[in-house]
Structure 1
Amino acid sequence: MSNVKIIADSTCDLSPELLETYDINIIPLMISMGDITKKDGIDVTTDEIYRWSDETGQTPKTAAPTIGDAVAFIEPFVKEGLDIIFFGISEAMSATCNVLRLAAQNLDYDRLFVVDSKNLSTGIGLQVIRAAEMAKKGHTAEEIIKDNEEIKDKIRASFVVDTLTFLHRGGRCSGLTTLLANTLKLKPEIVVVDGKMDVGKKYRGNIKSVLLKYVQDRKEQLLAADPQRVFITHSGCDESVIKEIKDFIEGLNRFKEILITRAGGVISSHCGPNTLGVLYISN
């Protein structure tokens, strides 16, 4: 039985099956739709978010968990006297990591280690699963954190958005850029660099051909990636597109695991439907 408990926030976009397999517990971020606030992944689905957004022309506001929720979340593990490692969404994007630090202070507990993933979505998920595997093998919290320091900057997280409307509504993208991109039918690649979102390549065309091109453009990097696993994470894409992308990656004969996950409420709120990314660790 490991003395290390791995926890994360809901933006890591791991499926219920993966959370169960690796014994990972999740604290939800908050999603405000007008004057109603809901918990990500518990009270609201991504499809409900899209519907509300289209009806109102607004994007939900997202926020860190409350201190009260964070205290209640870690308290059972504190009572067991476990070493707790929390992986949170990039501190450049959210106050979630700090809320967990404050929760540990409230409980006067000094064995909660907060890791700023400097990432989002399954860019966090890659770190979380790796840590959970090490915990199962009996590694100490310090060993797991040292390993994460070594691989954190090698996480490659990027995705292509079908429309900039959601990023714009959420204040993540200037109006002019949105107008131009949507008029020109541009589909930009968003890349996570040092914990922040940046624009990479700009694609043009229908979303299916764009997503295939985006993955094909990553062929050399994928062939040089850590072979353990790769994520295909999407915010509600056509099954046939996901299958083609999976087939392409399978054809590289590189990865032991190709994991497909659907992005949760927070990530989907900011990027909108038909977004897809391929996320992996570079060697």
Structure 2
Amino acid sequence: MRTIKIFADSTCDLPEAWIKDYDIGIVPLYVTFENEMFKDGVDLTTPQLYSKVAKSGRLPKTAAPSPADFIQAFTPAIEQGQQILYISLSSELSSTYQNALIAAEEFEEGQVTVFDSLNLSTGIGLLVMKAVRAADKGQSIAEIVALLEKTRPQVETEFVIDSLDYLYKGGRCSGMQNLVGSLLKIRPVIKVIDGKMTPASKIRGSREKVLEQLLNNALAKIDDMDNDLIFITHSLADEDALHLQEILQSKTKAREVAISDAGCVISSHCGAKTIGILYTKSIK
């Protein structure tokens, strides 16, 4: 058993098999439909989420785990003598980070370290896997945090939203923008910059054109990639993910190009067919 246990929250979108194989602790966020509350990935799957939205016509609300949730999740590892490093969803997007800090104060100093990923989805997952491998090599919490601090600015997170419907339902674009965008087949490209979701551009045209642009954006930085791990993360876009995986495997020197499914929290903000390419650049 490792002396350090790595934790993340459900928005890291790591494959379930990886979470099990690498003994990663996961603290789920909440998804709420009116009076029904579900734990992301525990009580509710992404297909079930879309089914509920289709029936109700409304998006759910999402909420951070409480400090009590974190205490409950951390306690078993602490009792087994492990130190904990928790890598959180961006503090710019959620109170998850702050609630974890509150929970950490309930333990002895040094038992729980909380690190702000300033990212989302497998942008977090990339940092989690760096931490897991460092812990497996016997590195200390301080050494792992130092590595994460160097790596965090190098994480590239870019994804394309297929439809403006979920942005509209979530109040992030107007009815007119939704109508015009749908008629002209405009799909926004979103990047994570300084921990925030930032509109990078808009692509007009077919789904194929959109995927080509997303791919080209990544390949334009091929010389900067650290050649470790590339994630293709998607919400019900399996065929497109496989297509991108095949090309990235052939055109990059990445040790692994992995596919992961977006969970309920990410999907509830972006909608079906959202797809992204996430990787880290080399540390200079």
Which sits farther off after the overlay, 123-132 or 166-175? Answer: 166-175
Q: Secondary structure at the match of 1:73?
A: helix
- One-letter amino acid of the structure 2 residue matched with residue 121 of structure 1: S
Match of 1:147 in 2: 147
Of 50-59 and 108-117, the range deviating more from structure 2: 108-117
Which residue in 1 is equivalent to 2:12?
12
Q: State the Cα distance separating 1:110 from its structure 2 match.
A: 3.8
Structure 1: gaps spanning 5 or more residues: none
CA deviation after TM superposition for structure 1 residue 54, in Å: 1.8
- Listed as ranges, the gaps of 5+ residues in structure 2 are none
Instruction: Provide the aligned length of Structure 1 versus Structure 2.
Output: 282
Q: Structure 2 matches for 1:114-193, cutoff 5 A?
A: 114-193=114-193
Per-residue CA deviation, residues 125-170 of structure 1 (Å, 9 max, x unaligned), is 0000000000011000000000000010000001000012112322
Amino acid at match of 2:278: L
What CA distance in whole angstroms lies between the structure 2 residues aligned with 1:87 and 1:22? 15
Q: TM-score, normalised by structure 2?
A: 0.94
AA at the equivalent of 1:265: C
1:57-100 deviations in whole A, cap 9, x for unaligned? 21111000122221110111221232211011000100111111
Kindly indicate whether residue 36 of structure 2 is the aligned counterpart of residue 39 of structure 1: no
> What is the deviation of 1:3?
1.5
TM-score (norm 1): 0.95
Task: Choose 60-69 or 177-186, whichever is displaced more.
Answer: 177-186
Is 1:23 the counterpart of 2:29? The answer is no
Alignment of 1:50-69 (within 5 A): 50-69=50-69
What one-letter code is carried by the residue in structure 2 that aligns with 1:282?
Answer: K
Aligned position for 1:282: 281
| Contact 2:89/2:124 (<8 A) preserved | yes
> What residue identity is the alignment partner of 2:163?
T
Quote the residue 2:2 is aligned against: 2
Matching of residues 259-270 of structure 1 within 5 Å: 259-270=258-269
Deviation at 1:51, TM superposition (A): 1.3
> Partner residue of 1:200?
200
Distance 1:196 1:175 in 2: 23
CA distance in 2, matches of 1:278, 1:253: 13
1:48 equivalent in structure 2: 48
Distance in 1 (alpha carbons) for counterparts of 2:108 and 2:143: 23
When residues 5 and 182 of structure 1 are mapped into structure 2, their CA distance, relative to the original with a 3 A threshold, is: same
In the alignment, residue 167 of structure 2 is paired with which amino acid? L
Structure-2 separation of matches of 1:208 and 1:277: 14
How far off is 1:211 after superposition? 1.4
Aligned-pair identity (%): 38
Give how far 1:5 is off. 1.0
- Superposed CA RMSD in Å reads 1.5
